[in-house]
Structure 1
Amino acid sequence: MTNKKNPEQKKQQEDIEGAENNVVVDNDDVEVTAEQRLKGELDDALEEVEKHKDLYLRTRAETDNFRRRMQREKEELSKFANESLLREVLPVADNLQRAVAHAREAGGNDSTLLDGVEMTLGQFNGVLEKFNVTPVEADGKPFDPACHEAMGQLESDDCDPNTVVQVLQTGYMLNGRLLRPALVMVSKTPAANVADANVTDANATDK
């Protein structure tokens, strides 16, 4: 028995076959689309890598800064750990210095006692040096408020005004930082010289 298609079915079959024949796969377009997709994924991956790299570098920099800061603080603590103790023992050096100065001024015959006090003072200064404690330079130096404390003024023709002419108490530095200021007397121009200068200025003005 022959299966014959009616004209309508035959036409539908022809339309389907024609449509199938008209479907053309453009391989070039498929390849371009895949390449673009891969390129986009690669760009996204590279961008993510840059973000993580930047985060890593910033974290490393912060860690290095923290490590250096902790090292500096450790060094500072080591340098000045004994600051309070050293400040408390400085009066011992003051008393030894006064004893030596008084003995020399008195001009006594007991040189053995003076030698003993001087030796003790020398040993004490040696201990201070071991802890990097050094005297503040003052005598004959220009007055420096950063390390000198003025206790008064003395008239003097021998030096410029504001020069340290007498040290009442030695000052000390600890590792370059002021431990105690030096108590000093500072020079000033004698009153007679000031008066003469005023007269000279007045005469010059009158002329």
Structure 2
Amino acid sequence: MAFSLSSMRILSKSCFKKLYSRNLVHFQKFSSNIDSTTLKNEKQDAATIPNNSSSTDKQEDKKDVNILNAELLEEKSKLTLQLEEIKDKYKRALAETENVRQRLQKQIKDAKIFGIQGFCKDLLDVADILSKATTSLTEEQLKKENNPALNSLYEGLKMTEGQLMKVFLKHGLEKIDPLVGEKFNPNLHEALFQQPLPDADAAKHGDVVLTAGSIAAVSKVGYKLHDRTIRAALVGVFK
């Protein structure tokens, strides 16, 4: 079969167009696949970056929270110690205040009770004189003398002494007048002398058995004010 030159040219152009069209379609498909793959990768990268960023932020936040918790615990420990110290100081202050209050109350009470101690001591000399005056005479001597004036004087002195003792008792002032044979008490008695203990047969004073360290004689009575000795009784003691 014979082809003319023009026919050959037309055929060549037709084949070239078909080949070009086919290659163009393949190129478009390839480009489309590349674009879709690139877009997919970009989406994955975009999704991965926020996740990584979020994870890093969470770790940083957790680290900050741990540091803050540690600081708060340390501050709590310090405040707890300070609170305990303040409580201890407060309790000590309360105890000291209570002790001071009790001491002041005792001092006030003692001042009320023993405020007359000096005055009482001065009156003891008067009581001693009255006691000597009333004991210088006995009732037998008065009867023997038969002197009404002397009897009246004696009765007046006895009444005065009795009234003075009542006033003493009213204000808490009591006489210390130990008996012979009574045990010596250094809080109430003052020993002036010692004397030997009598023989076994005579080592009795009434129903009381005399022993070493017991009172042998009373030289001067003593006095105490509300259980506080303001003048000890002057006594002799058996040895």
Under a length normalisation based on structure 1, what TM-score does the superposition of the two structures give? 0.70
Q: Could you tell me which residue of structure 1 aligns to residue 94 of structure 2?
A: 60
Letter in 1 for 2:138: R
1: distance between equivalents of 2:78 and 2:93? 23
Give how far 1:105 is off.
6.5
Q: Secondary structure at the match of 1:179?
A: strand
2: distance between equivalents of 1:45 and 1:152? 71
Report Cα offsets for 1:127-160 as digits up to 9, x if no partner.
1112211111412212333322334455642333
1: distance between equivalents of 2:191 and 2:72? 80
Q: Secondary structure at the match of 2:153?
A: helix
Residue range with higher mean Cα deviation, 25-34 or 147-156: 147-156
Give how far 1:69 is off.
1.7
1:174-193 to 2 correspondences below 5 Å: 174-187=225-238
Give how far 1:119 is off.
1.0
Q: Secondary structure at the match of 2:137?
A: helix
Report Cα offsets for 1:177-196 as digits up to 9, x if no partner.
111111223346xxxxxxxx
Q: 1:136 aligns with which of 176, 180, 185?
A: 176
* Aligned residue pairs, count: 170
Letter in 2 for 1:119: M
2: distance between equivalents of 1:161 and 1:50? 61
Letter in 1 for 2:179: D
Report Cα offsets for 1:68-110 as digits up to 9, x if no partner.
1222222222222222221111011111111111121761134
Q: Could you tell me which residue of structure 2 aligns to residue 7 of structure 1?
A: none
2: distance between equivalents of 1:60 and 1:103? 64
Unaligned runs of 5+ in 1: 1-16, 189-207
Describe the shift of the 1:65–1:162 C-alpha distance in structure 2 as closer, same or farther (beyond 3 A).
closer
Unaligned runs of 5+ in 2: 1-45, 205-209
Higher radius of gyration, 1 or 2: 2
2:226 counterpart of 1:166: no
1:67-106 to 2 correspondences below 5 Å: 67-104=101-138
Root mean square deviation, CA, Å: 2.6
Letter in 1 for 2:160: T
1: distance between equivalents of 2:212 and 2:71? 85
2: distance between equivalents of 1:144 and 1:46? 57
2:145 counterpart of 1:145: no
2: distance between equivalents of 1:136 and 1:33? 81
Describe the shift of the 1:154–1:111 C-alpha distance in structure 2 as closer, same or farther (beyond 3 A).
farther
1: distance between equivalents of 2:237 and 2:80? 72
